[in-house]
Every structure is written in C-alpha cells, then in structure tokens.
Structure 1
C-alpha cells in the first residue's frame, strides 16, 4: 500500500511541475501586461498634460503682444522644471499666428492657431463717415441699423429721379459725431504690407513652376513662398502655410480651391465662380468678379501711395475684411480720392469694410463701413455722400465675428485652429 502511494505521487510530479510552470508564465505575462498598461497610461497622461500646456501657451500669446515676431521664446510654464514650452508669434496676412510646442523628455505636442481681435467701439458701429462738412443723404429704400459716427451736418433725405426716401434712419440716440480723420490703421499694417511685398527675397522662395496640386503645408513649419516675375493664372487645390507672390497680375480661376493661402501681387483678379478662404494683399488693384464667395475669415486688401482701386461685382459674397488704404499721411483731398472702392448691387459683405478714399456702395453690408467719403453715380449725375437702395446693418453680423489686430486694440481671441 505504501509502495502504491509513492508510485502515485511520483506519477503526479510531472503534472505538478507543468501546472507550476504555466502559473509562473501566466503571472509573468500578467506582470508584463500591467507594466505596459501602466506605461501606456503614463504616456497618455503625459500627452494630455502636454496638450494642456500647449493650450496654456496659446492663451499666453493671446493675452500679450510683448512677444517679438518670428522669434521663438522658451520658458517653463509652472517653474517646476518639467513643463517647458516654446512660443512663437508670427504675422499671417492681417492676422496673427500663434504656434506653441510643449515638450517633456522624448514627448512633445504642438499646435498653431490664428488670433484676431474683438471689435472695438468703431468696429461695433454700423457706419463711420468722416466729417467734411457735408451731411449723409439717404434716398430710396436705404436701411441703416446700428450706431453711426456722422458729420456734424447729420443725416438728411432726398429725391433722385423722382423717388424719395422709404427706408430707415438710425435713432438719434445711435448717432455720434465723427471727426475729419478716419480711425488709424496700426503702423504694423504698413510694415506687414512692405514685408510681404518684398517676400520674393525670402530664403524659402521657390519658382511658381515647382508648385504642385493638391498640396497642404503645415503652419508649424516655415511658410512656402512661390513667386514669379510674370503674370500668374492659378488653378488647383492648395491649403495652409503657402504664400503666392508676383510683382505683376495674379488671376484666380473658378476651379482654384484655396484655404488659408496668402496672395501677394500688384494686381489680383478673382474670376466668377471662385470659392475659397484666402487673404489678398495687392499693391494696386483688386477685381472680384460676380458670384465669387470668400468665406470667413477672408481678407481682401489693397494699399498704394499712388492710388489704389477695388471692385466687387454683383452677387458676390465676402465674409471677413475689405481694406482700401493709402499709407501716405495728411493726404490732400485730391490725393485721397485716388483710392476707390466700388461695391456693386446684390453684393453681400459680412464683416468690416475700411476705405481711406471714395466708396460707391450699392450692396448689402452686415457689419461696419468706415469711409472718408461716399459717392453715387446715376445716368444723369454724380452725388457726394449719398446712399441709395442699400442696407448697412451691424446687428446682422455674426456675434462670433473677430477683426484684425491691426484694426482693433481690443483683446484677442482664437480665430481658428490651424494644426
């Protein structure tokens, strides 16, 4: 009997060793799983903290203009030695680009955003018309709603071609006195214009022949600059940190698809049917044909000391900023009126329109119009400071509208995330 028990125990020994080995392997595997799970959790926690640090960096850039342009600045967010960020503030057209990189050891996170300003008192108004000792005259079905900065002569109504006024005049409580000068653009506006005009000298410049479509370029990298000494006709699909430059004429065809792209040229023509989100900086002329749609936050700007011109044809929609400006200070009356903006009937603009010259305004504006002088042409005559069959209504502008920091000194906010 004792011999049988010993034999049974000896026969069970391999089984016990096998089970013990399996248990040991399972325990090791479980320890490994727990280890790698904790490792992944730790990595995810670090990445989450880096994302928060990136957002904190964006908020720092958003709240201060003291950071130099195009110069990365590194510092520790919480002075604990493990929350390092690199902040870079750059110009991007008439807006400001904020780029932040957060890093800890081998881990890093980065993000870019476009910053813009809240509307100030002028940008919250419907109309600012300089005081040249002439009243604003309304005729036809003209609607103006919102605060208006007007000449001391005020508002009057009149008849043209036998038709009187049938619209709406701002209440007296919404009327303010303007001055003989337009609200100034920030000095940085002209500095940026000069910078982009000379962009062909940039180290990143490439001949336009190297441009390929479709192409997307990150705002976390240096901009790609494509230039040509000749006229350019552009089609294709481009997105991101790309600058298209020519010292001549650039034509955007209806088939072009552009998003967040910057265009710098002497003259820009946007063909009928084009739709995109762009910024245009022209040194002479901008012509926007009919049925063009520029989505928010687009900006169309022309600036020249020799006189500049912009025309927006019928049934086009512009969402963002329209600026016509002569950087020369203390212009004579004759010189100031070399700068002109023509907005044709059935155009819809949402945002902010600024013209340091003459505006013939026949469209619809949901936003703010700032002008030195208005004029109106009819088949029989030319009228100064007249509006006829138009609408200017700042209350219809989207509440989330932000303007350029070069137009408003109000606090900045995130206009859009880029990368």
Structure 2
C-alpha cells in the first residue's frame, strides 16, 4: 500500500509540475505577445514621428525667409516643434516630434538651392566688357555686362582658349544679386558680440565638444587667441575682440570663429566657419571641407588719403594663398561708409587655389584660382607687371558645380537644400 501511495503522490507531483510549466509557458507566451505588440506600436509611433520630423525640415526648404521663431503644433497625440535660425553662412533648422514619453529630434544646415538659371559667373554691369587672358575658362551661365566679353593680353600673355566661353551668356545688372538683408543683419550682430553671454561662456580647453541639440558654448576673450593643440567640435563659438590665429596642429570641426582679424596658417585642415570685420588671411595648402565658410564684413575705417596709395591698394583685405582647397562659401561684404576705390584689391585668390561652392564679392576680386560653382563680383582686377588691369580675368577658371544638390548662401527669395545633417 505504501508503495502504491508513494507512486500516486509522485504522479500528482509530476502532474503539478507539468501544470506549472505549462502555466509558465503560457504566461511567457502572453507576455511575449504583449511585448511584441507594445514594441510594434512603439516602433510604428517612432517611425511615424521620425517621418514627420524629416518632413518638417524638408517642408521648411520651400520657405524663402527665416522666421527665427519656434512654431508649435499638435497632430493627434504628437507635439511638434520647428525652429530656424542662422548659423554662420547657413540656416540651422531644428525639428522635434514628441510622442508620449518619446522624442524624435532632427537638425540640419540648409542653404540656397541651385537651379537652371544659377550663375556660374555674375559680373556687375559697369559699362565695360570682361577681358579674358591666359588660361582663363568660363563654363555654364555667365552673366556679363552689355559690352560682353573679349580676349586680351597682359605683358604678352594672350588668351589661350578656343572659345571665349563654354555655355551661355546673359546680360547682367548694375549690381550683383543681393543676399538676404536679415542674414547680413545677423552677421553684423554677431560681430558686435551677439553670441556673447556670460552665462554660456566657458574657458578654452584642450578638448571641447558640444551637440547642436544643446545651447551653444561660447569661448570669448578680449585678448588674441592662438588655436594650437585644441580639439574643438560641434556647437561652439570662439570669439576674440582683437585677433584669432588658427595653426596646423588645431582640430576644429563645425565651430564658428569670430574676430576682427583672423589668420589661418599654412597646412590647416578642418571644417569651420570664419567671420571677421577687418581682415582674413588663409595660408597655403589648407583644406577646409564642406560646409565651411569665410566671411569678411568689412568695417575698417579707410581715409581718403589712402585711396592713392599703390601698396595699400594691392594689399588685399581678404586673401587665400596657393594650393588651398575650400568647400563652401567665400564672402566679402563691402564697407558702405568707405570711400569708393576702383583699384583696391578687396579679395585675392591665388593661383592653384580651388573653391567648390561660391565666391561672393561686393568689391574687387583678383582671381587666379579655380571655382567649381558660382562667382559673383562687382569687378575683376589684375595686378600684373606693375600695372592694374580692370575687369581682366587672368588665368582664372570658373567651372560647373559638381554637387547637384549644393546648398549655399542665403540669397533673397530662393528655395533651399540640406547642406548637412547635424549631431
């Protein structure tokens, strides 16, 4: 009897164990089904929110102005934010979609898009023809004065091309196309210290990183700054009220550098934006990757007595030396209060230099490099053999932009493209 009872007890225990195992398996299956359903719904919400965030940024590309205000709206259970503001040469566009406790955020630099009418060369109509000399080459859309284009020579160097231009010629207007006044006001503001906020100011350090989703970090001093072994990246502004020098040992990525005088020494590599009010010098063999920019908003006080000084005229306000490559925008904005000087070199781009993007000059440019994109200028100038040649383009090459979806300077009333997604 004891044996039979023991066997029955063991059988009951086994049956109970099986029941428990089955219950656990059923519970696990139900939990797994619930978890899968939860994550499926959650994933669908996140994907949908991500699409909305992206579409907000793509939709903002159609706007021809920058609002500077954050717009808020709601769709079903989603809270949506969109903010646009200038950041150097580009517009920074921020999009956020909140779904319950989750947030999807996207941020990008945007700029003016190219179209079929985008100039490769735009020379203001000053009632004088463009004279091409040496190995000059013009491709794409050339907007030229009514007097057109002709071949010439400088000290026995004649034009070498088989055609005066390789593309189309359209008559230009008296001034080059205007940049957005709102953007120029922004550049003026930050030169005067618009970024400076004591609450956000930090000391310079060997390494500084800051996401574009966070408030900008500001490194500011009244003294001159020499950037040597520092590694600085992200949403960081470096500003001096006197001078900043960038050396080849520095590592700058996506930062904005602001000072009256900015010197970029030879062999510097990085991706950054320069904004100055008196002088910019970029040395030899530098490489600034896209999207980089260098902007000189000329605020120098120039007396009338200097207008006849030959050495002063040939000493450029903004210069880029030999064999440097810059992917982005080069901008010279004139000093409106200064006395006009027809023979002053405002922007000098040396032989062997390559710009992939845009050059915008409200004054006189001496151009002997290569631009793959667009060059806008009031007047060309060539300082050769002790003489000054007006509206002469000597050995300069203006070629078609190889980037079809390039995003560039904020011209008035234009659609935009995405320059780069930020982090």
Q: Same fold per TM (> 0.5)?
A: yes
Task: Say whether 1:15 aligns with 2:23.
Answer: no
Distance 1:294 1:201 in 2: 26
Aligned pair in 2 of structure 1 residues 320, 130: CA closer, same or farther (>3 Å)?
A: same
Question: Which residue does 1:68 correspond to in 2?
Answer: 67
> Structure 1-normalised TM-score?
0.89
DSSP-derived class of the 2:32 partner: helix
Distance 2:65 2:132 in 1: 45
Aligned pair in 2 of structure 1 residues 159, 8: CA closer, same or farther (>3 Å)?
A: closer
DSSP-derived class of the 2:408 partner: coil
Structure 1 unpaired stretches of 5+: none
The structure 2 residue matched to 1:403, chosen from 396, 405, 408, is: 408
Question: Which residue does 1:326 correspond to in 2?
Answer: 334
What are the equivalent positions in structure 2 for 1:1-40 lying under 5 Å apart? 9=8, 12-40=11-39
DSSP-derived class of the 1:264 partner: strand
Aligned pair in 2 of structure 1 residues 227, 278: CA closer, same or farther (>3 Å)?
A: same
Aligned pair in 2 of structure 1 residues 389, 8: CA closer, same or farther (>3 Å)?
A: closer
Aligned pair in 2 of structure 1 residues 168, 396: CA closer, same or farther (>3 Å)?
A: farther
Distance 2:227 2:209 in 1: 16
Per-residue deviation at 1:246? 0.9
Per-residue deviation at 1:299? 1.1
> Structure 2-normalised TM-score?
0.88
Task: Say whether 1:316 aligns with 2:324.
Answer: yes
Aligned pair in 2 of structure 1 residues 269, 117: CA closer, same or farther (>3 Å)?
A: same
Distance 1:117 1:32 in 2: 52
Question: Which residue does 1:279 correspond to in 2?
Answer: 273
Question: Which residue does 1:149 correspond to in 2?
Answer: 143
What are the equivalent positions in structure 2 for 1:190-201 lying under 5 Å apart? 190-197=184-191, 198-199=193-194, 201=196
Per-residue deviation at 1:28? 2.1
Structure 2 unpaired stretches of 5+: 303-315
Per-residue deviation at 1:328? 2.3
CA contact (8 A) 2:382 2:392 kept: yes
Instruction: Kindly report the root-mean-square deviation, in angstroms, between the aligned alpha carbons of the 2 structures.
Output: 2.5
What are the equivalent positions in structure 2 for 1:195-344 lying under 5 Å apart? 195-197=189-191, 198-199=193-194, 201-207=196-202, 210-235=203-228, 236-306=230-300, 309-326=317-334, 328=336, 333-334=340-341, 340-344=346-350
Per-residue deviation at 1:355? 0.9
1:169-218 Cα distance to aligned partner (Å, 9 max, x none):
445972222222222222113211122112354254415xx222333211
CA contact (8 A) 2:351 2:369 kept: yes
Per-residue deviation at 1:64? 2.8
Aligned pair in 2 of structure 1 residues 66, 281: CA closer, same or farther (>3 Å)?
A: closer
Distance 1:172 1:322 in 2: 24
DSSP-derived class of the 2:261 partner: strand
Question: Which residue does 2:307 correspond to in 1?
Answer: none
Distance 1:67 1:200 in 2: 18
CA contact (8 A) 1:117 1:409 kept: no
Distance 1:275 1:313 in 2: 14
Per-residue deviation at 1:160? 2.4
CA contact (8 A) 2:79 2:98 kept: yes
Distance 1:152 1:215 in 2: 53
Aligned pair in 2 of structure 1 residues 203, 380: CA closer, same or farther (>3 Å)?
A: closer
CA contact (8 A) 2:88 2:273 kept: yes
